[in-house]
Amino acid sequence: MRDDIDYVPTNRIVLWGHHFTAVAGAAPIIGPGIAVIWGWLPAFLWVVIGTMFFAGVHDFGAIWASIRNQARSVGSLTGDVVSHRARTLFMIVIFLLLLMVNAVFAVAISNEFQATPSSVIPAWSAVAVAVVIGVLIYRMGVPITWPTIAGTVILYAVIYLGELVPVTLPEQVLGLAPGAQWIILLFVYAAVASMLPVWLLLQPRDYINGIQLFVGLGILYGAVLIASPTVVAPAINPNVPASTPPLLPLLFVTVACGAISGFHGLVGSGTTSKQLNTETDARFVGYLGSVGEGSLALVAIIATTAGFATFADWEAVYQTYNTQGTGAFVRGGAQIASDGLGLPYGFAQTLLAVMAVLFAGTTMDAGVRLQRYIVQEWGTIYNIPPLQNGYVATGVAVGACLVLAFGAGGAGGTGGMIIWPLFGTTNQLLAGLTLLVISVILVKLGRPSRYTMIPMVFVTTMAFLSALIQLADLYRAGNYLLIAIDLLIIVAAILVALEAASAFMREKRKAAEATG
């Protein structure tokens, strides 16, 4: 199936870098950064346990299931594994999740560019460096070592350049504020990037970003070991702000990508599986990719609980639920790096802001490409030739995101944030459904399914309970748009789960009869 555009056999280390940075995004920073409002211990335990027994199994399983089915997405293969009706409903949930991811991450990157203008040049430099690395490795046959070293050095060097030359956009262009201008530029870039061969930009960008980001994680962990900062936040916070929802079940959808994420299954079965050189690389790429994200979530917990001088300083930041995340990570992490390694605070702040932007940017790259795949699959499934065209599919994907960002939010482009409260719930529901589909495949093959079924039951239960709590909150707030979206997601997920559970029991009966 090799076409050197989407299907490209890839070195497993390079592919691991792509997968890790594509799935990580800003969510493992934002989620734990919000969840520590309940205290650091619940978030810490869920990240550690969730990464080892939930996320690793989910990510590895999604890649494996896809590679066994012509590298099709988990939504598409559901039609063969479960039913055509389940496939249709599943792909609706997937499309809504991708819509949230792309629209919201564009807003998040835009906000970070405005808050930290020194991060603009380093973030965009990663694109140029990635293209050069892609050409060197895949067209000129240069061994991977030297391009990796040179690319990493360049990316860190331009951080100093970013501090010297901060970039800001004009106050008004065609009536659009800087935030809206950045959002449009980001979607133009994402549209172009989604159509380029993966070897030219997506793979090398994610790989070199992964190297840079792991160096950044090394700096943070090293600073923690040297400075030994005091965790000023309580292990369990008994005095949470009045607006804070209950820890159970909301913890498990707030941390989301730091422990398990349905979005990982979309990346694993949407782009990663198409680049797998050999099936046995799936465990290295999938499981180790989730470990990388868990490591990022852990350092986010440390930065947001030990990066403050006193408990009063921490409490002043955590006065309300769902308003911290990236800002607390950048501020706290920069302080730890400054204290532990003697880095200038401004440089450390730019470094961490660039980390957050690069994570969000690589996820947005993969997210728009995945949306294109979904639209093209719809075109194939329902025999709509225009939607099978890559340019048309990309236009539909990006257009939907822009409609959400500007149609719902006005000229400010902030509309993408209106469905963010549902992201964690939808993400975890999707993870549970993916694990259920994998379980059906395992039963069909006569393999043990308990390692996927136990995480599936837990994650799905927590996500459904959270969705019901959110539905009640949205009703009290009178937010009928979100109520409609929440209900659509809940109903579609329930129907997919029932279809998949029926298929699971049917296959179990067949297996019992065969051995009977």
pLDDT at 64: 95
> Closest by alpha carbon to 485, among 70, 23, 103?
103
Residue 102, number of CB atoms within 10 A of its CB = 29
Q: Say if residue 271's pLDDT is above 80.
A: yes
pLDDT at 407: 64
Measure the CA–CA gap between 237 and 78, rounded to whole angstroms: 42
Measure the CA–CA gap between 46 and 42, rounded to whole angstroms: 6
pLDDT, tens digit (0-9, with 9 covering 90-100), for 398-456:
998 888 777 655 666 665 556 666 778 888 888 998 999 999 999 988 899 999 999 99
Measure the CA–CA gap between 458 and 198, rounded to whole angstroms: 35
pLDDT, tens digit (0-9, with 9 covering 90-100), for 140-182:
888 888 888 898 889 888 988 988 899 999 988 888 888 889 9
State the first-to-last Cα distance of the chain, in angstroms, to the nearest integer.
40
In the CATH hierarchy, which top-level class contains the domain 13-231+249-300+335-515? mainly alpha
Highest mean pLDDT (candidates 10-14, 275-279, 350-354): 275-279
Mean pLDDT of 301-321: 87
pLDDT, tens digit (0-9, with 9 covering 90-100), for 244-259:
889 988 899 888 778 8
pLDDT, tens digit (0-9, with 9 covering 90-100), for 465-508:
988 888 888 888 787 777 887 888 888 888 888 888 888 888 88
Q: How confident is the model at residue 60 (pLDDT cuts 50, 70, 90)?
A: very high
Mean pLDDT of 50-70: 94
Q: Is 103 exposed, middle or buried (0-12, 13-18, 19+ CB in 10 A)?
A: buried
Q: What is the residue-averaged pLDDT of the chain?
A: 86
What is the SS3 string spanning 449-481? CHHHHHHHHHHHHHHHHHHHHHHHHHHHHCCHH
More confident residue, 57 or 107: 57
Measure the CA–CA gap between 483 and 499, rounded to whole angstroms: 24
pLDDT at 237: 93
Q: Where are the domains of the chain?
A: 13-231+249-300+335-515
Residue 352 CB partners (closer than 8 Å, separation 6+): 216, 329, 330, 333, 334, 337
pLDDT, tens digit (0-9, with 9 covering 90-100), for 184-235:
999 999 999 888 888 888 778 877 877 777 788 888 899 998 988 999 999 9
Residue 142 phi/psi, 5-degree rounding, is: -75, 135
Give me the half-sphere count of Cα atoms (radius 13 Å) on the Cβ side of residue 280.
Answer: 0
